[in-house]
Amino acid sequence: MKRLLFLLLMGGASLGLAPTVSAQVTDTTRTVKPQLNTAPPGTAPAPPRTTAPPVYQPTPTAPTEPVQPGVPASNAPYDPSRPSGLDLPQRPGVAAPELPMRRYFLYSNFGLGFSSLYGFNQFSASLAPAIGYRVSKRFAIGPGISYAYNSYSARGSESIKTNSLGLKGFAQFIVFDQFFLHGEYEVTKAEVLYQDQSTGQLFKGKLTVKTPLAGAGYRQQIGDRAAADIVVLYNFNDGINDIYGQPVIRFSFLFDLK
């Protein structure tokens, strides 16, 4: 009997403790509620980017052109005080500055002439230095002096030689490239020939001779400041008292002074 009562007491105690034990067991079938984000709003972090390695591309270079020596380096205004050693090659497509025009020049010529008429021969040589002034790039004028030597000969008579000294003025106009027109007017204290009407004998005397000359010439540039000319002139004073033959051919030398 005692044993039966002990078993009943143990069974009742276990039943009383069962709710407490079951309350401590976690129900694994219950759904968990999602938790709200209580953090302050902000920009979401950017996803990581993968960068490709840089590809090498050569820089294209413009084709170079041949450079002329002595051409300034840029299109800046020409500065005559700039040392020439600082000049660099000219950039393609940029024109070189134009050099200032030299106004004054020395112009000297040596002339030869020969004529023959009815057995009467005349040979002439002349030297005439002058100072020229360029009014413009094409037109120049100037004064000068002249010296002429002549030798006359005729059949059956001895040759006669004369010397003449005069003053002159000249003008030149460049027509195209190196071709130019040339004109002169000269007044000369000359030794000229006279002829005795009764005997036909020739003799020389002194006379003032006025000689207009005009023609054309060609200029060959020798350097930056020098040139050589050849000029063919017509003598409008084509008579016995003139000091030049027909035509007058001159070889001239030009040199720029400043």
Note the pLDDT tens digit of each residue in 186-230.
Answer: 998 988 777 777 776 777 888 888 889 999 999 999 988 899 999
The residues near 145 (Cβ < 8 Å, ≥ 6 apart) are: 128, 129, 130, 165, 166, 167, 168
Spatial distance between the Cα atoms of 73 and 102, rounded to a whole number of angstroms: 24
Give kind and range of the element (H or E) at residue 102.
none
How far apart, in whole angstroms, are the C-alpha atoms of residue 256 and residue 258? 6
Asked, for residue 78, whether it belongs to a domain, the answer is no
Give domain status of residue 80, yes or no. Answer: no
The total number of structural domains that make up the chain: 1
Q: Does residue 30 lie in a domain region?
A: no
* Residue 41 CB neighbours (<10 A): 5
pLDDT value for 237: 82
**Do 182 and 190 contact (CB within 8 A), yes or no?**
no
| Domain residue limits at 244 | 104-256
pLDDT digits (tens, 9 = 90+) for 17-51: 444 444 444 454 455 555 555 555 555 565 666 66
Indicate which CATH number applies to the domain containing 117. Answer: 2.40.160.20
Give a yes or no: residue 193 inside a domain.
yes
Kind and range of the H or E run holding 3: helix 2-23
Query: Does residue 191 lie within any of the structural domains?
Result: yes
Band (pLDDT 50/70/90 cuts) for residue 14 is: low
- Rounded to an integer, the average pLDDT of 51-73 is 58
N- to C-terminal Cα separation, the chain: 158
